[in-house]
Every structure is written in C-alpha cells, then in structure tokens.
Amino acid sequence: MNAHSKLSRGLLAIVLLIAGAAFFWGSRDRKTVQAHQRPSNNFAKVAFASPGRVEGLSDTTQVGAAADGVVKAIYVKENQFVTKGTLMGEIACDDLNAMLQTALAEADGTRQARIRLLRGARDEEKRVATKKTAAAQATLAEATSRLSMQRSLYEGGEVSRAAYEQADRDFGVAEADFQAAVRTEELLAAPPLQEEKARADAGVLAAEGRVQTAQERIKKCAIRAPIAGTVLRVYARAGESFSTVTPRPLFSLADTSARRIKAEVDERDLGKVTIGQSVIIQADGLGGNKFTGTVASISAVMGRKSVYTGDPSDKIDRDVLEAVINLTHDAQSLPIGLRVTVQFLSNGFPKQ
C-alpha cells in the first residue's frame, strides 16, 4: 500500500471520528434542553383516594314533629324553596285546642277575682253598710234612753225588776248590733290582707301557666322549617300517624344554592390531608366528567363511616375523619347524595 492510500484512509478515519463525536454531544444537548423545558408540575400525583358524598351548603336536615298525633295536612312539595319558619305540615291537635279554651276561661276568672279583691267592696255595699250602722246607732240610743228611764223607775219602786232587766237586755242587744255594723263597715272599707293578695296573685300565675303550657303544646303541632333551603324529600302523607316514641323524618331539607363534597378520610391517611389541598372528584355516574376542588375544612373529631362503596375489600370497622371540599367551578348539576371518589393530590392540579 502506497503512502497516498494510507493518508486517505487516515483522513477518512479522522472525519468519521469528528462526526461521531459531534452527533453524540448534539444528542446529549437536545436531551438536556428537553429535560429543562419539561415543567415539574405537569403531572399531579394522587396521594390517596377516599369515598365522599355530594351535599349542599348545609348538612341535610331531617325534619320531624314534636307532638304525637295524625298528620293533618302537608303544605310543601319536593324541590320547593322555603324560608326559616315556613309551615311545612301540621299535626291534628283538636283536644289541645279544647284544653286551651278551658285554660283561658279559668285564667280570666282568676284575674277578675283578683281585681275584685284589690278593688274592695262595691260602692252600693258600702252605702248599705253605712245605713245599717246608722240604724243600729239609733236603736242603741233608744235602748240607752229606755234603760236609763227604767233604772230610775225601778229605783223609785215604780216598775218591777223584770221590766228593768228586760230594758237592760235590749240595751245589750242594741249595743252588739251597733258594734257588728261598725265592724262590717270597716271591713268593707279596709284594703285586702297581704295573704289574700298573695293567694290571688298565685292563682293568676298558675292559671296563666296552664294557658302557656297549652299554647306551647299546640305550637308543637305545627311543623316548621328549621332553616332556609330546598325541600329534598317529603316522607309524610296526610292521615298517617306520628309518634315521638319511635320518631321518623317527615321532611328532608338542605341549602342547595351550591354544592360541596364531604369526604371520609381513613385514619391511615390522616397525615396526607391538609386544608387548601387540591382534589379531583369523579364518579361512575358522571360519564367521565371530573370536578376539581380544594379542602375547606377538616373535622376535629373522628367518626364512623357513613359512605360505603360496595367493594368487598372496603374496611367498615375503621374510624374516619370528615373533610369538607369546596368545588372550584359550578357543580349544580351534581345531585345531592351522589357517592363520589375523591382523589387528594400531592402537588396541585394536572396541567390541561
């Protein structure tokens, strides 16, 4: 092999070596650039998942009655918005109405008796007593004069002792009648005694207490909305009986102006949930749609599970902690009570 051929091969080998080195370093630089261009939060990691349930802005309130009886009427229907205090239904309490009327009559009677006691005797009675006193005084004066005359005659021997004693007896009777008339007049003019007034006051208070008791019992016959919200279910029917011994809900009510999620965090995942944490909501009935939200509050008390997935492997003997989740966009289409799966993310939402 001549020198020219060896030189050509040497140059070719050098060119190939330079080209290979350039290709290697160029590929490495591109990978480095791609690695730097990839954002660190492009993929959100799911820390854990928990079952949950869709709720309104308030817990669902089960409304019952506070009195035993038959349901007289229902005044609301499902999906109707009611304000606090709205009459939703009524229990028949006709016997309590009769009791109230009796109590009102008794209370009025005791009040009138107290008024008469404080007012004292009527003016007519006082005038009659004054006239009786005057008549008794005149009789006493006549008896006094007759007794004086009979005494003089008896001492002079002109009348018998029997006549004198009769005049003395008449004087005693006239004097007693006068004292009784004076006493009667004083009693009619005197104010009532303290014990009489206290007894009258106690009677009025007792009667008014019976009226208030009857009124309170009648109020319990009215079923009123404890909060403002939407009637979710009407369980009661007119004519059905209701008992406070074995109570049952007659209505269910909740504030449905917005939706939130109440998730049940297993006791094993307590250290993975924090306020403000991002979550993803999904369910079989949502047709693949997902909702996002953030943890708004975490309960301070452990409790028992109330949301069951139906999975045989689901542990129902563990305590859970309730976490309330506010949704980040409109979710009015979600039905209240829908079971959902809540995925708690470790580093925010995935980039769309």
Say if 105 falls within a structural domain.
yes
Is 207 found in the same domain as 149? yes
In this prediction, residue 120 carries a pLDDT of: 82
Which CATH number covers residue 125? 1.20.120
Is 175 found in the same domain as 106? yes
Which position has the higher pLDDT, 123 or 171? 171
The C-alpha atoms of residue 90 and residue 74 are separated, in whole angstroms, by: 7
The C-alpha atoms of residue 349 and residue 326 are separated, in whole angstroms, by: 15
pLDDT tens profile 297-336: 999 898 877 776 555 556 666 789 999 999 987 787 888 8
What is the pLDDT confidence band of residue 232, given thresholds at 50, 70 and 90?
very high
| Chain CA centroid to CA 127, Å | 60
The C-alpha atoms of residue 136 and residue 336 are separated, in whole angstroms, by: 92
Q: Report the domain count for the chain.
A: 4
| Chain CA centroid to CA 277, Å | 34
Say if 304 falls within a structural domain.
yes
Nearest in space to 262 (alpha carbons), one of 314, 317, 320: 320
What average pLDDT does this structure show over 84-92? 94
319 and 267 in contact (C-beta within 8 Å)? yes
Say if 350 falls within a structural domain.
no
What average pLDDT does this structure show over 47-59? 89
pLDDT tens profile 267-300: 888 889 999 999 999 888 777 788 999 999 999 8
pLDDT tens profile 95-123: 888 899 999 999 999 999 999 888 888 88
What average pLDDT does this structure show over 233-245? 92
In this prediction, residue 17 carries a pLDDT of: 65
Q: Is the pTM of this model over 0.95?
A: no
Which CATH number covers residue 277? 2.40.30.170
Is 330 found in the same domain as 230? no
Q: Helices marked H in the chain — which ranges?
A: 3-37, 94-119, 123-155, 161-189, 194-219
In this prediction, residue 37 carries a pLDDT of: 37
In this prediction, residue 4 carries a pLDDT of: 55
180 and 141 in contact (C-beta within 8 Å)? no
112 and 150 in contact (C-beta within 8 Å)? no
In this prediction, residue 92 carries a pLDDT of: 93
The C-alpha atoms of residue 306 and residue 303 are separated, in whole angstroms, by: 9
Q: How far apart are the first and last CA of the chain?
A: 66
Q: Does pLDDT of 15 surpass 90?
A: no
Is 197 found in the same domain as 135? yes
Is 273 found in the same domain as 297? yes
Q: Does pLDDT of 78 surpass 80?
A: yes
Is 227 found in the same domain as 79? yes
In this prediction, residue 42 carries a pLDDT of: 47
Say if 351 falls within a structural domain.
no
The C-alpha atoms of residue 190 and residue 105 are separated, in whole angstroms, by: 29
Nearest in space to 184 (alpha carbons), one of 257, 254, 111, 126: 126
What is the pLDDT confidence band of residue 41, given thresholds at 50, 70 and 90?
very low
Share of the chain above pLDDT 70, in %: 83
Which CATH number covers residue 78? 2.40.50.100
Is 178 found in the same domain as 72? no
Place of tokens 């005038």: 127
Q: Angle formed by the axes of helices 161-189 and 123-155, to 10°?
A: 160
Lowest mean pLDDT among 5-9, 223-227, 322-326: 5-9
The C-alpha atoms of residue 223 and residue 253 are separated, in whole angstroms, by: 13
Is 146 found in the same domain as 104? yes
The C-alpha atoms of residue 342 and residue 320 are separated, in whole angstroms, by: 14
Is 144 found in the same domain as 247? no
What is the pLDDT confidence band of residue 39, given thresholds at 50, 70 and 90?
very low
Is 161 found in the same domain as 267? no
Q: Does pLDDT of 35 surpass 60?
A: no
Is 302 found in the same domain as 238? no
Say if 21 falls within a structural domain.
yes
- Per the structure, the complete domain to which residue 227 belongs is given by 61-90+221-253
Lowest mean pLDDT among 176-180, 192-196, 316-320: 316-320
Is 178 found in the same domain as 74? no
Say if 95 falls within a structural domain.
no
The pLDDT mean for the chain works out to 84
Q: Does pLDDT of 20 surpass 90?
A: no
What average pLDDT does this structure show over 158-170? 88
In this prediction, residue 315 carries a pLDDT of: 61
